[in-house]
Amino acid sequence: MRNAARIVLTLALVTLAGAANRLRLVREDDSTADAGPEKRPVPEIQVFDDFSSIGPEQRDAWLSIWSTQAWAMLQSLQAGRDKAPLHLLMVGDSTMRKQKAYLCDFLEPGVQHDFHGPEMVESSCFNRELKVRVTHLWSPCCRPDDLRHLAQRLADEGSVAKRALVEPQVVYHNCGLHLMHLGAFRPFECLPRPYEEVITGFQRALQEVYPSTLQVVMTTHSICEPLFTGGYRDAVDQAHWNPEALTDACVKDLSQRLWRAKDAPSAAATRAAPEGVTRVLAGLCRSGMMIDDTAARQRAAALKAVDAARRRGGGAGIDVVDAYALTWQQCWASEKMDGRHYPFLVPLEAQQFLAVVSRWLGGGVVGVGGSGSSGV
């Protein structure tokens, strides 16, 4: 175990420098974000050959090293805040839930934190020593009503003092992966809209519900297409060589769903002007396929929405964790048949998030790749 820890410590230091370099490289070439990542220089920071080559001891040592640093960051942050209660609310899909589970594993050890199911829309942990609470709200489509319902429930907690313990100081959110499709093989899970509109709508709802809360937006993970197999592999090949087939299947699915939504305004629009609605849906379907170019476009849209929010002003501030930059070209860190989740890079995402929080709330800690806004 000691040798594994020594090896992983060395790799962690290499990765720390490499992740910062990747953030710099991607940000320097932001002008090509819409054109896809292939036009950018590829940084050489691969830690292992592939995910399957990472043994249990190496995984444990890797997590232990990053968890120790994350604990130190939270200690520093809370010491600077005189241990005022801190609630970090993470809203979104499994990419957010994994970061919540990673933090909770050392904040509240001995408890299973990475669980989910149809009834599990909210989960949290609390560390009494640091007075830090971390909550995940399952909202894979970034629906403003999900946030409003949670805020109402927290507002009903009782006394003012109790509400102060549960009201979030930071809301961290992303929902990009569930706004992608692969035709009939993987339909849109949410009725699609332009991604910038999705992020902006959620930002506005958040400012309405929690006007004094820091917002942190996470960009969507890079898609490692070579790891897809079976139907996913066939659908991705179609996305590149026969995109109209996927587009047609997607438009058919969305049209049927809108038509069935009898009471929705979209259903009335579909019946009143079916050709116009079909053109809009075709555009959303063409731009929303689950390939890396789509993730790159979502990243550009998220950064644009953040810049617009900064110009509008108001609220406690807004910042970015650039998960696309952290996961881009890092197929080794994702499992075969997955290609969109990167378990070995979850600590780096969480580390960058804590660095952003520390900079805004007073800890002054610099984490992986610097603060989220420094180069965006």
Contacts of 70 (CB under 8 A, 6+ apart): 103, 106, 347, 350, 351, 354
Higher per-residue pLDDT: 162 or 306: 306
Q: What is the pLDDT of residue 375?
A: 38
Angle between helices 144-155 and 195-209 (to 10 degrees): 20
Determine if the pTM surpasses 0.75: yes
pLDDT of 79 over the 70 cut: yes
* Mean pLDDT (the chain, rounded): 81
Q: What size, in residues, is the chain?
A: 376
Half-sphere exposure of 32 (CA within 13 A, CB side): 10
How would residue 363 be classed by pLDDT, with cut points 50, 70 and 90? very low
Q: Classify domain 2-361 by CATH number.
A: 3.40.50.1110
d(C-alpha 289, C-alpha 236), whole Å: 8
| Furthest C-alpha separation in the chain | 69
Q: Find tokens 């994350």 and name the residue.
A: 70
The residues with which 218 forms a beta bridge, in sequence order, are 321
Q: What is the pLDDT of residue 160?
A: 58
Locate all alpha helices (DSSP H) within the chain, ordered by sequence.
2-28, 56-80, 94-107, 144-155, 160-166, 195-209, 230-241, 243-260, 265-272, 274-287, 292-312, 323-327, 346-361
Query: Is 348 within 8 Å of 46 (Cβ atoms)?
Result: no
Q: Lowest-pLDDT range, 267-276, 288-297, 307-316? A: 267-276
Domain boundaries, the chain: 2-361
Q: What is the pLDDT of residue 137?
A: 93
How would residue 376 be classed by pLDDT, with cut points 50, 70 and 90? very low
* Bridge-based pairing state of the strands 122-127 and 86-92: unpaired
How would residue 251 be classed by pLDDT, with cut points 50, 70 and 90? very high
Question: pLDDT per residue over 116-135, tens digit each?
Answer: 555 567 889 999 999 999 99
d(C-alpha 21, C-alpha 27), whole Å: 10
Higher per-residue pLDDT: 190 or 220: 220
Q: What is the pLDDT of residue 275?
A: 66
% of the chain surpassing 70 pLDDT: 74
d(C-alpha 303, C-alpha 306), whole Å: 5
Q: What is the pLDDT of residue 11?
A: 52
* Bridge-based pairing state of the strands 122-127 and 132-138: antiparallel
Question: pLDDT per residue over 137-172, tens digit each?
Answer: 999 999 999 999 988 887 776 655 556 557 899 999
How would residue 277 be classed by pLDDT, with cut points 50, 70 and 90? confident
Which amino acid belongs to residue 96? M
d(C-alpha 337, C-alpha 228), whole Å: 5
How would residue 46 be classed by pLDDT, with cut points 50, 70 and 90? low
Q: Lowest-pLDDT range, 23-27, 67-71, 219-223? A: 23-27
Which of 323, 295, 369 has its CA nearest to residue 216?
A: 323
Compute how many other C-beta atoms are within 10 angstroms of the C-beta atom of residue 242.
10
